[in-house]
Structure 1
């Protein structure tokens, strides 16, 4: 059972996103087991699970061999065991980050929706760091990840209609029935609907909007954009403030790469920003 404070917060988030609060609570409850934070080194952190088979796939051969020897990677799912405690899992992640930080962060399922970091591009985040930042920012950030996945996976209508069998297949995979995932969702929904009252019907015209950064925005996502522009040859001060210099650099980058030079960073711009930077001789330069 989700705590009262968590239910209140989820109800607010659900209504803002035009979702049925009881349906959102049901998914969060089943996915998280009713626990939305873990206390790790004095900080409230999202629940994580490290997937060693993802780490195996994302690493170059030399690092992959080192990871296998150190028990951090395996070509088969489930062979790298997660500690029972979240504190132990964060220590495991820290070890993996010591070998390859980006690959390690992508090899984790994050937060109440257990969304894999490897989906960051598909979910329209500027970088894996942007996804992780949102996951660690609080319950709202965790739910944002989950709702983006639901929208991208085409499961929003199933959630609205409480078609738990179809939702379970899409969200949990073809083995959902073996674990009774759909029945767990249905039971949880009935429980939370009794608390929340009549279902909120979602307006199908309101869909998830992709990440857009523009003049006047501030924060870690803007700092990540500035860092990416610097990697492509610009000399911006990485301060997280989308001012006139950042806009001018972005427009120049967009024009140089055949994009609409509107000074707004959206999915197409982020995709190009992630490409390797080429030296004059065509050799790929390491990322900054």
Structure 2
């Protein structure tokens, strides 16, 4: 299977959130991404992108448009601006385009394993194209959530649930879907995923037992307060006074050997 366990778990998580068959969403994700979820760019995992120069061209005002055309980043003709083969080079192309017009550049990119165009940000309910990009850059879960948002908004969720791959591919990949065999690829991928072994459940951490209560300290004998000390002094003085009052008898008793 093309996805590792973590990626598969995230795709299945989105499917569960939407009430969709996990195997169906896995099949679509596999066909759209060829099983790749990210590329390492400047030491960071980034979503796969494709820059569309004709989108960029029509989103630029004349002054910026002439600059972008001169730098080979924009053209009125689809396909005239070629994407480099490596993702790192595509991200560098995006950085150059963003230096001319950041928002137009982000709108001119297909983002993540679902290849959703940034230009759809408002239609998909995002507050800005930058919010859409944040979702795409938020790991596999963010990419699949973006793709799922597109599937729902385009009215393709029912076709996905029925595994009507002709209807789904027509809506997702356009009228030329059959020429590229998208419906056949999705059907084959679905058959594989529907027979895949379930993922092992994530073990629940064993709760640690509560620590034994600390032994209670031995009770401390109460110490006399000021009032107790005063009472002891008065008692001692009273005893001394009684002895002085009886001093003759005490003396006699001593001399008599008593």
Q: TM-score, normalised by structure 2?
A: 0.75
CA distance 1:18–1:194, change in 2 (3 Å): same
In terms of Rg, which structure is larger? 2
1:207-265 CA distances to partner (integer Å, 9 max, x unpaired)?
xxxxxxxxxxxxxxxxxxxxxxxxxxxxxxxxxxxxxxxxxxxxxxxxxxxxxxxxxxx
**Residue 92 (str. 1) matches residue 73 (str. 2):** no
Indicate conservation of the 8 Å contact 1:22/1:196, yes or no.
no
Match of 1:195, SS state, is coil
* 2:221 matched residue in structure 1: none
1:165-219 CA distances to partner (integer Å, 9 max, x unpaired)?
010010000111111010000000001010157xxxxxxxxxxxxxxxxxxxxxx
The aligned runs of 1:130-141 (5 Å cut-off) are 130-141=131-142
Indicate conservation of the 8 Å contact 1:102/1:128, yes or no.
yes
Higher helix share: 2
Q: How many residues are matched?
A: 197
Q: Distance in 2 between matches of 1:21 and 1:31?
A: 16
Q: TM-score, normalised by structure 1?
A: 0.67
1:103-149 CA distances to partner (integer Å, 9 max, x unpaired)?
00000000010000000000000001111111111111111111111
* 1:103 matched residue in structure 2: 104
* 1:83 matched residue in structure 2: 84
* 1:143 matched residue in structure 2: 144
Q: Distance in 1 between matches of 2:64 and 2:100?
A: 7
Match of 2:99, SS state, is helix
CA distance 1:196–1:120, change in 2 (3 Å): farther
Displaced runs of 4 or more, over 6 A: none
Match of 2:148, SS state, is helix
* 1:194 matched residue in structure 2: 195
Q: Distance in 2 between matches of 1:114 and 1:120?
A: 13
Q: Distance in 1 between matches of 2:187 and 2:38?
A: 24
Q: CA RMSD in A?
A: 1.0
* 2:116 matched residue in structure 1: 115
Q: Which runs of 5+ in 2 are unaligned?
A: 199-258
